[in-house]
Structure 1
């Protein structure tokens, strides 16, 4: 009876924890993890400088990424095709979108605005950063003046403010927790394990009873 009480309390505690805390899977946090998984396909921006770099890289991890195109694990898509790709391929978990940081924030924000929940996540590892700049004539007095104003705008956070103005939910899903607390009513779909254990317990008890009856019968008939 003591053992039954301990097992019952333990199972009840684990069941309540399982129902209350939901674990969100995030299998890809680095480019290496994506490359090592043969079941996932990468989606890159078509016609970008990154795409040209991948095709021209002669060694390293980006050479491996370029080689995946021959295996059918690398697709080139346009910016206009990204929303549909996210809502289909990426949502099913068969594809991973490779995009610049601001582009990912916009995509996550738009999906949150549409669905009301964070369905996607960004990897913790960032790679191949892009530096945008304005090109001016050499030794031109305009270059220092423009550089000073661009630096002031960056330090003031105007770029982030413009991003948030264009998509208010762009930062809602940034670094979302992998464990969330949920509230749900009990139903047969979330407590079916209790009935499975109950049925298994009755089956084991019935098997033990049959063995005892068989042993008693063999004992009375003199068969060992």
Structure 2
């Protein structure tokens, strides 16, 4: 086929990859959420629109990490604090204040509207269906008049 199914990029090449292969709709980028926290707001600030979105599903449970020594007594408290920060929304609030436009392109919209100009060339299918419906209705009406008229008696009721 000539094209690679998977390409590996360095972090410094991530912005360029977003602007070239992702914008061309030939690839997607699968990477840690933290790498896009700075890239998406920068892209929004430059263009004024959300050209890129993060997916709704995540594969990492928390965006925070701290390093301690092995078997440290602080580890349970650090884990508990990290989960509390994320679950309370404080982490998102910090990101909002540290990076402008950080929440603008966070999730894709649920409804995407497409605006086009109405013309006869773009609506011909609708008129074709309407015309076929009228034609079928006329045929059914003629069949009812021809077949139904023979069954009517003098009394104006259908003869059984």
TM-score by length of 2: 0.57
Task: Return the structure number with greater relative CO, CA threshold 8 A, min gap 6.
Answer: 1
Other-structure match for 1:162: 94
Larger Rg: 2
Instruction: Please give the per-residue CA displacement for 1:15-39, whole angstroms capped at 9, x wherever unaligned.
Output: xxxxxxxxxxxxxxxxxxxxxxx89
Other-structure match for 1:150: 82
Aligned with residue 135 of structure 1, among 27, 43, 68: 68
1:94 aligns with 2:22: no
Other-structure match for 2:113: 180
Shift of 1:100: 1.9
Shift of 1:104: 3.3
The number of residues matched between the two structures is 121
Q: Which runs of 5+ in 2 are unaligned?
A: 125-160
1:85 aligns with 2:17: yes
Counterpart Cα distance in 2 of 1:136 and 1:122:
33
Shift of 1:78: 1.1
Shift of 1:112: 1.7
Shift of 1:162: 2.3
Aligned with residue 55 of structure 2, among 108, 117, 123: 123
Quote the RMSD (CA, aligned, Å): 3.4
Query: Do the aligned partners of residues 178 and 121 (structure 1) sit closer, same or farther apart at CA in structure 2, a change above 3 Å counting?
Result: farther
- For 1:1-224, what aligned pairs fall within 5 Å after superposition? 72-127=4-59, 129=60, 132-138=65-71, 140-173=72-105, 174-180=107-113, 182=115, 191=119, 193=121
Which has the larger share of helix?
A: 1
Instruction: Please give the per-residue CA displacement for 1:111-136, whole angstroms capped at 9, x wherever unaligned.
Output: 22211112123334434x26634332
| SS of corresponding position for 2:86 | helix
Query: Do the aligned partners of residues 87 and 163 (structure 1) sit closer, same or farther apart at CA in structure 2, a change above 3 Å counting?
Result: same
TM-score by length of 1: 0.43
Counterpart Cα distance in 1 of 2:41 and 2:35:
10
